[in-house]
Amino acid sequence: MDGSEILVDARGHRCPVPTLRLRKALETAPAGAKVRLLADDPLARIDVPHFAAGGGFAVLESVETPDGLSFLIGKPA
């Protein structure tokens, strides 16, 4: 994981909590920031990309890990 990423660990929470935590992190992050969301709710596969598209954010990476899902979201510069 890149040291310049903002980490949001929402594992153990059901949707919409992971998406809400991601939104809060992106709102406070500086322009051009990257936020990594860790989630283990299967609905995050649908909710996170939908939220990102609707908010003008880019899904830079979406990976399944042994602990769940990992998304890297970019905030426009």
Helix (H) or strand (E) holding 54, with range, is: helix 44-55
Whole-number Å distance between alpha carbons of 55 and 38 = 19
Question: The domain 5-74: what is its CATH number?
Answer: 3.30.110.40
Whole-number Å distance between alpha carbons of 38 and 74 = 15
Give, for all 77 residues of the chain, the pLDDT tens digit: 555 899 999 999 999 999 999 999 999 999 999 999 999 999 999 999 999 999 999 999 999 989 899 999 999 99
pTM above 0.85, yes or no: yes
Identify each DSSP E strand in 1-77 by its residue range: 5-9, 34-39, 58-65, 68-74
